[in-house]
Every structure is written in C-alpha cells, then in structure tokens.
Structure 1
Amino acid sequence: MITLKRLVLTGLTFFVVFLVGSSLIGSWSEPQITSRLQLYQTDLLLQATEFQPEASGANVDSTRTAILGKDPIATSLEQYEDVRQTAQTELDRFQSRLDQVTVADAAAPEFPTSSSDPSKQGQLRTAIRQQQTLIDQLDLRIGILQVEQGQVETALETWSRLTASSNGTRSASDVTASDTRASDATAPPPNRVAETLTGLWSQPPRLLPDVEQQIQENLDGWFRDRALSRLYELQQRPDAISALQQAAQAAAQQTFLKLTLIGVVPIIGCLAGTAILISLLVQRAFRGEQALLAQNGTTIWETPWSGEIVWQVLIAGFFFAGQIVLPLASQLLGIGFSAFDSRARAAYALLYYLAMAGISLFVLYLSIRKFLPLPQEWFRLKSKSNWFLWGGGGYLVALPLMIVVSWINQQVWQGQGGSNPLLQIVLEEGDPIALGMFFATASIAAPIFEEILFRGFLLPSLTRYMSVGWAIALSSLIFATAHLSLAEVLPLTLLGAVLGFVYTRSRSLLSPILLHSLWNSVTMIGLFLLGSGAE
C-alpha cells in the first residue's frame, strides 16, 4: 500500500522535475560566458601587443610570439567578428519571437496565452536591447581593429551602421532595439561615438566637440589608446603621445604577465595531467588489479537505508526546500540579488548558499539519524591513502579531459545553453572584499557541501543497487543537472565522474573536496585576471 509519505514525495518529484526541466529548457536560449571570456582575453592580447621588452633576442621574440601569436591584430579582428555574427543571429531570433508574440496578441487579445503574456514581450524586448547594445559596442571596436589592419574604408562602413540609426535607416528590428535602448539615459548613443571615430579617420579629418571626452568615457584599454593616439597625432601633441605610450607600455607589461599566467600555467597543468593519465593507464595495463586505477574499484559501501531515503534527501531536501522554497521565500520577503550593491550582493550570495546547504544537510541528517552510528566508511575524512595526492592528481588529470569535452560542448551549443551567473559577476567585479566573499562561496562552501551530498551520500547510497561505476555515472549526471544549465551538463558530468572516481579510490571526502576547491579556485582566479586586465 502506498504511504502518505510516498504520495507526497511523488507529488514533489513531479513538481521538481517540471521546474528543473523548465529551467534547463529556458537556459537553452541564454548565452554562455565563453564568448565574453574570449573577448576579455582578446582585449588582454591587444593591450599586451604594446609590450616591448628591454632585452632582445631570439628567445625573447619566440616567447612573445608564443604568447601573442604571429598577428594578434588579425586574430582579434576575427574573434570580434565571430562574436558579432553570433550576436546578430541571436538578435534576429529574439526579434522573430517578439513578432510572433505580437501577432498572437493582435489575433486573440481577449484570450492571452503564455506565449502572448506581456511579461514575455518585456523579456524579449530586454533581450533585444541587450543584444543590440552588444552589437553596437562590438562595431565600435571592430572598426578600430579594421583601421589597424589598414582597412580604413571598411572601418568607416562599419561605423556607418551606427551613425545610420540617427538618420532612420536601420531595419525594423534595429529600430525596435534602438528605441528600447534610448530609454537608458545614462549611456551615450553609440552613434555619437561612431561619429567621433569616423571624424578621426575621415579624409579630411573632422574633430567633433568634446572628442577626447567621448573617447575617454566610451572606450577602454587598447581601443581607447588607439583612438587617443590618432587624436593627438591630428592635434600635433607630441607630449601627450609620449605620455600615452609610456602608460600603455606599463599596462602592457602587466598584461603580458597575466596572459602568461592565463595561457602558460594551464598548458603546463594539462601536460602534467596527460602524463599522469598515461602513466596510470600503462600501470593498469601491466599491473591489472594491483594498479591504482583498480584500487577499491568494485568495493561497495554497506548502505543501511533504502532508495526511499535517497529520494527523500534529494527531492525534499536539496531540490524542493533548498532550490524552490528558499528562493520563493526570498522573493516574498522582497530580498532581491540585483537590488544590492557589490558587497551586499556578494554577502547575499554567500549567505544564500549557506542557507541552502544548511537546509539540505539538515534534511539529510533527519533522514539518516535513525541509522546512527553509521558504518565507518561513511562520510570519512581520514584515510590511510594520501588524500592530498588523489585530490591534486585528480585535478591535473581533469584538466586535459575537461578541455576536450568543453571544446566538443562548444561545438554542440554554439555559445548558447546558459552559464553559472556567478561567473559573469566575478568577471566584472572589481571590489576585493566582494571578490573574497564570492571566492569563499565558490571555493570553500560549494566544494564542502556538494561533495558531502553528491559524493559522500548519493554515490555510496547508489552502490546498494548498482556497481560503483554506474553509481559514479548516475551521481555525476544528477550533480550536473542540479546546476540548471544545459551547456554545463556534459562538462560537469565529466567533472563529477572524476570527483566520484577520486572518492571511490581514496575513500576520503577530503580528496574530492580538494579537487573541487582547486577547480573552482583556479576558475575564479582566471576570471579575476581576465576582468582586471580588461579595464
């Protein structure tokens, strides 16, 4: 006979599956952070081109070429044009969806549907505004890159797409986006900046009023320096050119170091990880069951509870209470993440995550407390094996595997599928205290909680019904799905599999916690370096 508890769990399961499925489907149309990261790294690359080391020689030149490439300007232009093409495709798609919603409203205004909901129109108009703003900013920069490639006429045509908006010559979709964007009084019209740049490189040049102020306020980094250099040349100001070059050289030296850290260190890690993986596979081939890869490979946990407890902890504790009830309570209390300033948002993110983890772990404790004391293998933090080597080695092995899977993932999703919103915030954050709190959330709180839940509880519980290998696979898929982004499912499933493999072999939760913390910490540091260098 079905008990009331199972009926409630069944109902909650359908509810959770619906909401999680809706979130995953909704993330399909959201951009990944990958494209933005590429542009930040491209901006660093451009700024580093100004670096002229005092020493010279074949080794110095080869190192500089290895970091910057043979033709960094051409490479940067190609990347910017690729991002613009993707943004234009997204703009056209959003405009098409808005047109469909508008037609549906006109056809049946007295019977509104979810597709013709005014809030849906608002979301689409916001998305259109954001995409058009992105395209405008890209066109400003693409034009400067084209000038540096000697394509002055092409650059003037690029900027004319922006200046044309003031003459009413844009397409219907562009006008809609421009009208929406015009409501933002804090941002100067991009066509004004485009007119300024057009005047600098026209023949004869035309210097508009407040031209230097326009450049300083609306361009940054290498693009600002290129425009200012052109202005000072036209104004015949050698002192200003000299000061600009000195400042650019100092910034380029720091940027070159950042690029070295961002580019070279991961390569070294990948090479080390590949070497470790190959050696482990060779050892497995020659030593068989005595190899490290086979250690504890088939040893299951003694699980005192049934699958209903696992069901209860995941559905009632983690998904429903932690990811549905808690956000709803925050909304009812009027607590909104976007309403806070930088430090308050970071504190809110940390406290919110701790509350979610606390609720989930409390439900876990209530569910298994009648089975206390647990067998010694459960939630074990100590181990006879060297947990530090398992965690650190697992991180290095994960690097080359994740690079391959991430490349495949990018080909599949083509820049869509969503990303963790915290990544974008960290990329653009400049406050060190806020960054510290975000770092604590991602690199301390998240690894401890998620490893206790997914590796410490879920994975061993599944070994009651399946082999260790299948338990690793299923727990990894659930772990990836819980992040609610389609584009992250494949790479996070792989990462979860490495975490699970490390845990089952080391039999210490410290190993996957260390691996998880290293992964998030390096990601956060990389985002900080990219963001701080693109100012």
Structure 2
Amino acid sequence: MNKQYWFIILTYVLMHLSSIIGLPLLFAMGYEQTEAAGIWTISSFTICLIVVLLILRTAPKTTLRNKSKASVGASIGWAIGGIFLAYFSQIIAATIEMYIFRIDPGSENTEAILALIKSLPLVIVVSSIFGPILEEIIFRKIIFGSLYKKMNFFFAGLISSVIFAVVHMDFTHILLYTAMGFAFAFLYVRTKRIIVPIIAHISMNTFVVILQLNYDRILELQKELEKMQLIIGGFFS
C-alpha cells in the first residue's frame, strides 16, 4: 500500500476520533448534545473529505489487477443496477438476521443518524453523500483494492467488508453491513471504477434516509388508500 493511502486512512481515523475534542468544545459553547453532534459531524466529515480527495489526487493512478476499466455506458448500467444489488443484499442479510438469528430489524446506527438529521437537516448531506464517498474510497478502493492484489475476491471482500461493518459500531447487524460491503466490492471489481459503488452507495443511503424520515406519512397514506378501497368496493357490492 502506498504512503498516500496510509495518510488517507490516518485522516479518516482522526476524523472519527476528533469528536473527543470537538464535542466538549461545542458543549462549552452552549450547544445541546444532539445539536453539537450534528454540527461536529458536518464539520469533521467535510474537512476529512476535502483532505482525502486532495491526498488521493497525488496517489499513483492504478486499476484493479491492472485491468482496463468498464466503458462509460457499462459503468452507468452497473451503477444503476448496483442500487438494486445493494438493496437486495441488504434484504437477504436482514431476512437471515430476523428469521435465523432472531435479530430485530431496527438499527441503532440508523436511528442515531435520523435523530441528528431531525435536529440538523444538513446532516443528510453527510449520511447520504460525504459518508458513502469516504467509505468507498477507504474500504473499497484502498483496503479491498490492496487485499485483492494478494488474494481472491471472496477473502478480500470478506476482510474489507467485516472491517466496514465493525467501523459502523452496530455489531448486532454486522452481517447486514458485511453483505453490503460485498455488493459494493463486486461493483468495483466488475467495472474497475470506484465511482460506480460510490453512486450505488449514495443512492441506497439516500433512499433509506428518505424512507425512514417519511415512514409515518407512508403509513398514513397506506391507511387512506385502504379506506378508499373499502369505499370504492362498497359502491360495487
């Protein structure tokens, strides 16, 4: 692994550790806990992404196992299909967790993110855009890419995906995050373009956040539709 990649990983680690200093400072300035967490999340992720992209520009330009990249058209197709692939892998993992391991589908990590977004809506930029970009650069391009040079897809994908899952600190759903990591790694290997899993990851995160934020409204709409069906059905009975 080249030195630029080590600097990127270090930047990412420091970003996560920065809250140890940043949050107490915001508390001292009078911010409440949730608001302070939201502000620091936005600030730290923004700075980290800028630094990572600047460092990445200086890194040697390589492709996975020196193979040519997929065409632009094929990459667009895989990016769109990758959204469904990632979501499908998530459904399979969630089903296994629920029916085999008896794990409830709710995620503490997702709930914490939603709480931050409700407190400070701008956090959605971090959860839906900045976070996925950083995670794909770190876990797919750097960690998976480095491992894939020395081992086959399964083991490189497994190791990088488990690390990806552990970093989310939601150990109950480690299978779910690992499955997602495999899906994104597959997209990267298939196209040799890191932008493809980035697009799929951004799209999936955005969809999940919007769905969760509007969950109550969706239930209300479903009830209204059921009432309309009953009324319409009454006319023809």
Q: TM-score, length-normalised on structure 2? A: 0.73
CA distance in 1, matches of 2:173, 2:50: 25
Write the letter of the residue equivalent to 2:15: G
Which of 197, 201, 204 aligns to 1:512? It is: 197
Whether 2:106 is the aligned partner of 1:423: answer: no
**Cα distance per residue 1:327-383 (max 9 Å; x no partner):** 1121342448971686x7654432232234456x27x939x95xx5x24427xxx85
In the alignment, structure 1 residue 323 sits paired with structure 2 residue 16: yes
Distance 1:417 1:401 in 2: 16
- In the superposition, relative to structure 1, how do residues 313 and 356 fare at CA in structure 2: closer, same or farther (>3 Å)? closer
After superposition, the C-alpha distances for 1:446-481 in whole angstroms (9 at most, x for unaligned) are: 121111221122211112321233212211111111
User: What is the match of residue 403 of structure 1?
Assistant: 91
For 2:45, the aligned partner's letter is: Y
Partner of 2:147: 462
Structure 2 unmatched runs, 5+: 221-237
1:350 to 39, 42, 54: 42
Equivalent in 373, 384, 393 of residue 71 of structure 2: 384
- The answer as to whether partners of 1:413 and 1:487 remain within 8 angstroms in 2 is no
Q: Within 5 Å, which residues of 2 pair with 1:489-500?
A: 489-500=174-185
* AA matched with 2:199: L
The structure-2 alpha-carbon separation of the partners of 1:531 and 1:456, relative to structure 1 and needing over 3 Å to count, comes to same
Residue pair 1:419, 1:487 contacting (<8 A) in 2 also: no
Separation in 2 of the partners of 1:452 and 1:357?
10
**Is contact 2:188-2:196 (8 Å) kept?**
yes
Which aligned pairs between 1:122-141 and structure 2 lie closer than 5 A?
Answer: none
- Give secondary structure in 2 for the equivalent of 1:419: helix
| Residues 1:365 and 2:59 are matched in the alignment | no
Give the RMSD, CA atoms, in angstroms.
3.4
TM-score, reference length from structure 1: 0.35
Any conservation in 1 of the 2:80–2:200 contact (CA below 8 Å)? yes
Residue 487 (structure 1) shift: 1.9
Distance in 2, matches of 1:418 and 1:338, equals 23
Structure possessing the higher radius of gyration over alpha carbons? 1
Contact 1:463–1:471, Cα closer than 8 Å, also in 2: yes
2:63 corresponds to which letter in structure 1?
E
Classify the secondary structure of the residue corresponding to 2:44: helix
**Residue pairs, 1:31-46, within 5 angstroms:** none
Indicate conservation of the 8 Å contact 2:83/2:200, yes or no: yes
Give the corresponding residue for 1:414.
103
Q: Which residue of the other structure, out of 136, 156, 159, is the alignment partner of 1:471?
A: 156
Count of paired positions:
211
Structure of higher RCO (CA pairs closer than 8 Å, 6+ residues apart): 2
Separation in structure 2 between the aligned mates of residue 492 and residue 425 of structure 1, nearest angstrom: 21
Measure, in 2, the Cα distance between the counterparts of 1:506 and 1:497: 14
Query: CA 1:517–1:313 in structure 2 vs 1: closer, same or farther (change >3 Å)?
Result: closer
Greater fraction helix: 2
1:348–1:492 Cα change, 3 Å:
same
- Equivalent residue in structure 2 for 1:339, among 3, 28, 32: 32
